[in-house]
Chains A and B, each alone.
Chain A
Amino acid sequence: MDLVARLLRAAPGGWARIALAVLLAACASFSSVALMGVSAWLLSRAAEHPPVMYLTAAAVLVRAFGISRGVFRYLERLVGHDIGLRLQSALRLDTYSTLARTTLLGRRRGDLLTRVVADVDAVLDLVVRVLLPFLSGLFVILATTVVIGVFSWPAAFALLLSAVLAGGVAPWLAARLSARADAASVPARGELANVVHELARTAPDLVAYEADGAALDRLAEADAKLAAIDARAAWTRGLATAVQALAAGVAVVAGLWFGTQAVRAGTLDHTMLAVLTLVPLALHEVFNDFTKAAQTWTRARVALDRVREVLSTNAVGSGDLPASDPVAVPRLAVRDLTIGWPGAAPLASGLDFTVGPGERVALVGPSGVGKTTLAATVLGLIPPVAGRVEVEGRVGYLAQDTHVFSTTVSENVRIGNRAATEDDVADALAQVRLDVDPGRLVGELGTALSGGEQRRLGLSRLVVGDAQVLVLDEPSEHLDPGTADALLDDVWAQASDKPLLVITHDPGVVSRCDRVVQLG
Chain B
Amino acid sequence: MGVPKEDNGRGGVRPDAVPSVASGGSDAVGPTDAPARPRASGPIDPRLLRRGRATAGYMAGGVLIGCLTAILTVLQAWVLSRAIAGVFDAAPGLDYTSPVPGTGAWPALGGIIATLAAIFGGKALLAWLNTLLAHRAAASVKSRLRRDVMAARLASPLDDRTSSAGLVNLLTVGLDALDGFYAKYLPQLLLAVTVPLIVGVAILTADLTSAIIVALTLPLIPVFMMLVGWTTEARTARRWRTQQRLARHFADLVAGLPTLQVFGRAKAQAIGLRKTEDAHRAETMGTLRISFLSALVLELLATLSVAVVAVTIGFRVVHHEIDLATALFVLILAPEAFLPVRQVGVHYHDAADGMAAAQQAFDVIEGAEAPDVRAEEAPEVRAPASLEGPAATALVRVDAVGHTYPGASGPAVTGVSFDVAPGELVVLTGPSGGGKTTVLNALVGFLSPTTGTVQVPERRRIAYVGQNPGMLAGTIADNVRLGDARASDAGVADALTRAGAPGMDPARTVGDDGEGLSAGERRRVATARALVRIDAGADLMLLDEPTAGLDAEAEEALLRSLRATGVAAVVVSHRPAVLAEADRVVVIGGSANGEGGAS
Contacts and interface: CB of A to CB of B under 8 A. Distances in A.
Nearest to A260: B87
Contact of B459 (A189, A210, A285): A210
Contacts of A3: none
Given A85-B284, A215-B154, A70 B303 contact: yes
Nearest to B548: A481
A99 B87 contact: no
Given A67-B303, A104-B257, A270-B91, A445 B84 contact: no
Helix, strand, loop or mixed for chain A's interface?
Answer: helix
B164 A201 contact: yes
Interface stretch (B122-130, B415-423, B497-505): B122-130
Contacts of B49: none
Interface string B286-299: 00110011011011
B285 interface: yes
B508 interface: no
B121 interface: yes
A104 B432 CA distance: 35
A234 interface: yes
Nearest to B291: A77
Looking at chain B, what size class is its interface with the partner chain?
A: 35 or more
A40 B513 contact: no
Given A77-B32, A197-B512, A489-B597, A89 B252 contact: no
Interface residues of A, number: 168
B341 interface: no
B132 A234 contact: yes
A285 B332 CA distance: 13
Contact of B470 (A194, A202, A239): A202
Contacts of A322: 264
B471 interface: yes
A503 B550 CA distance: 18
B318 to A, nearest CB: 5
Given A63-B311, A86-B281, A320-B261, A200 B87 contact: no
Contact of B262 (A65, A235, A237, A379): A379
B109 A257 contact: yes
A437 to B, nearest CB: 13
Contact of A205 (B22, B117, B526, B594): B526
B135 interface: yes
B382 interface: no
Interface stretch (B11-19, B39-47, B355-363, B388-396): B11-19
B31 A124 contact: yes
Contact of B281 (A89, A199, A256): A89
B172 A189 contact: yes
Interface string B219-232: 00000000000000
B551 interface: yes
Contact of A198 (B117, B327, B335, B512): B512
Given A69-B303, A121-B1, A205 B470 contact: yes
B299 A73 contact: yes
Interface stretch (B55-63, B189-197, B460-468): B460-468
A66 interface: yes
Given A97-B270, A277-B80, A216 B281 contact: no
Given A48-B95, A415-B265, A480-B467, A211 B307 contact: no
A241 interface: yes
A36 interface: yes
B32 A242 contact: no
Contacts of A320: 260-261, 264-267
Interface in A270-329: 270-271, 273-274, 277-278, 281-282, 285, 288-289, 296, 319-323
Interface stretch (B271-279, B561-569, B579-587): B271-279
Interface string B69-103: 00000000000100111011001111111000010
A120 B31 CA distance: 13
A16 to B, nearest CB: 17
Contacts of A362: none
A70 B296 contact: yes
B135 A231 contact: yes
B596 A486 contact: yes
Interface string A422-446: 0000000000010000000001111
A40 B85 CA distance: 11
B256 interface: yes
Contacts of B1: 118, 121, 125
A367 interface: yes
B288 A81 contact: yes
B48 interface: no
B577 to A, nearest CB: 14
B303 A444 contact: no
A377 B586 CA distance: 49
A55 B254 contact: no
Contacts of A238: 127-132
22 contacts: A43-B317, A50-B97, A85-B280, A97-B267, A100-B260, A118-B1, A196-B164, A196-B171, A198-B513, A205-B466, A208-B445, A211-B482, A219-B150, A227-B139, A230-B139, A231-B136, A278-B331, A415-B259, A445-B7, A480-B467, A482-B595, A485-B599
Among all A-B residue pairs, the 4 with the closest Cβ atoms: A249-B120, A482-B432, A118-B24, A66-B307
Given A39-B306, A243-B124, 12 more contacts: A48-B96, A51-B96, A62-B310, A121-B31, A200-B164, A207-B157, A208-B462, A241-B130, A248-B120, A320-B267, A446-B17, A485-B598
